[in-house]
Amino acid sequence: MSSNFHRKQLQTNNIPRAQGGRLKNWKCTYPGCNEPAKTRYNCYSHVWDTHLRYEQSVRTNELASCYKDIKNKDSIKVMCDKYMSKLVEVPYPFEFEMKTSNKSELSVIEEQMPSGFLNQDNNINNINITMNDSYPIEYNEIPIKENNTEDSINEQNFIEIIQMSQALKQLHVIGEIFAENGFLTRSDQRTKTDIANLNNSLDLIMQLRGVTFKYKGTEQRKYGFIAQELKQVLPDLVREDTQGLYIDTQGILPILVESLKQLNQNVEEYKNQNNEILELQERVDKAMEHLYKLKTENDNQNKELQEQIQLEEEVDKKKKENPIWYKIRTLLGPPPFILFACLFSTFFIIVIPIIFRSFYFLISFFGTLTIVLWFAVALNWKDIKVFLKEGKSFIPSLIGWKIQHYVVWFILFSLFLDCAISNMVIGQYVFIFVGLYSLAAFLTLSFTMFISNNAPSCVPTQFLLVPLVLVQAIGIASLVLSMVYQPFNENLEMNKLLTTYDLVITENIDIDLPLLPVSWNCFNPKFRCDPELPDGISLSYDKVGHLPRISGIIKSIEYNNQSTIEIHIDAICSGYIVVKYPKINLHNCAKDLDNSHCIDPKCAYCNVLSNSSLNHCFPCTSLANQLCQKDNGTSSCSIK
């Protein structure tokens, strides 16, 4: 038999037999299998066919044969051995004989253990009494004796079976009982009545007292309860007879189970309460944080309000001391704002000349404004110095503005737009735009001042600023549109001031053609031609005569045999503003053009029959015509 077998000891009568008399002493131990015991061959067949055959088929991808069809079964048996147990016959561990007597209502039966197990002086008469037909157990007859409680407690190493009634017996053991597989207690619901839940189990457990003790006459320490104390708490678990008190320790287990369940419930409730407390604490923290933020904001607002009140008080004090001088030096706004505007204007007076060096009107405006603002800063230096020491922000400097401050800055912004229009809108008619905008600004300002002087005091100053802001927005929009379309440029076709320039070109001819002057506010003009002019001539601005001029000597003409070429010209003013300029028609009379391409009305073709190498295209002039005739050629030019 393989070493993988498991041995399970049973009584002989518990092992069934097959019809042939063979023992069915082999059991399948495959997990989850509850098949009854079988013979060894049948157990092998069952384990292989039912459990292992299909596992082997999955691993090998081939259906395995049944156990009975396999010729060499050794390897199969090795695989099945670990899932088989053999039932082994063993004799009963001991025998005892019993005899009852009728000397008392209670019959005391003493058990005779195997030799040397107990030391008893009782006289025993050996008679055999069969207690169970299935198990041949022999009992020794024990004479009935009167029990003495004190002697019974002090007497060690004995076993008693007390027959309480015809159907009830009690086993008394002074000492320890060893059981290999434990004890079983009947607990079938069908045998019980008056089933009820245990209540207050934890309170009952808390009233119990666990103790350690030694039995009289022994030195071994035990753990348990005192029956007298347990009887006060759980009297149903204590029994009493002539020998003393007994405890049903198994009855404490349900109380312990319910106590643990109650403890677990209490722990869960505590966890839930703790989570609620943590959540509540988190909400409180958030609320405190929010309150702190509100308090900080409120403190800042109160501080700003207090500073504003203090500033207004200082302003009122200075007004009372010298009201006219105070109005003059604060005409551009409160001192902190004057400092901010001065720094802003200084930045622009540095940047604009670097980037927009030809925007002379804007440079002049910011230069003048910067000087005025620095002068105002000097007049208000004491107040500005206090402002800088306190480290306040520029934003609250708008507080306390009066209507005259808005009027002054409206006028300054209007002047700024006038300068921007003069720089960015090209043409001699730009004065019309500037005049219309200035008139609209003046009328709007007059209307606002009239409303301000006649409106009730309850009308806020900011409401009066709406017309001023509106007219400035219209002015900015008009400036942007005028920059894109340049409606005031006198060189546009819609003005019909000039026609297109005509320029006859040929090789090695000196050209000097003055063009239409550019607008008065087109500073430092440059020109862009599309397509480019022939090699040798260029379009430039004559600063002496203040006229654009096409000049130079044509070295070569490369227009792919085109007779007439249209040149579009754009003037770039002040480095950024692009305006249209009259276009030029080039009449191509290049010498290399053949008779089929020299067809421009401004050109003629000289045909020399005696020498074809002298054939050429030329501008139709009297001098060129005479030169062609001198070479004995025929000219197509009608000029004599």
For residue 537, the domain's CATH number is 2.60.40.10
Nearest-angstrom CA–CA distance, 268 and 262: 10
354: left (phi over 0), alpha (psi -120 to 50) or beta: alpha
Residues 457, 567 share a domain:
no
Residue type, 515: L
Residue where a domain terminates, one of 89, 105, 133: 89
Q: Which of 196-205, 300-309, 336-345, 386-395 is least confident? A: 386-395
CA end-to-end span of the chain, whole Å? 143
Indicate whether 20 pLDDT > 80.
no
pLDDT tens track for 70-117: 888 888 888 899 899 888 765 544 443 444 444 433 333 344 344 443
Domain carrying residue 20 = 6-89
Span 548-552, mean pLDDT? 89
Longest dimension (CA), the chain: 182
Residues 364, 415 share a domain:
yes
Residues 463, 400 share a domain:
yes
Residues 474, 372 share a domain:
yes
The tokens for 118 are 């107990």
Residues 373, 468 share a domain:
yes
Span 469-497, mean pLDDT? 82
In a domain, 283, yes or no: no
Residue with tokens 């060189």: 491
Residues near 507 by beta carbon (within 8 Å), at least 6 away in sequence: 554, 555, 556, 557, 590, 591
| Percent of the chain scoring above 90 in pLDDT | 20
Nearest-angstrom CA–CA distance, 338 and 508: 66
Nearest-angstrom CA–CA distance, 551 and 101: 158
Residues 604, 518 share a domain:
no
Residue with tokens 């074809």: 612
Indicate whether 235 pLDDT > 80.
yes
pLDDT tens track for 429-482: 899 999 999 999 999 999 988 888 887 776 677 777 889 999 999 999 999 999
Indicate whether 336 pLDDT > 70.
yes
In a domain, 480, yes or no: yes
Q: Structural domain tally of the chain?
A: 4
Q: What pTM was estimated for this model as a whole? A: 0.48
Residues 461, 506 share a domain:
no
pLDDT tens track for 284-335: 888 888 888 888 888 888 887 787 777 667 766 666 665 676 777 888 888 8
pLDDT tens track for 384-424: 887 787 766 655 455 567 888 889 999 999 999 999 999 99
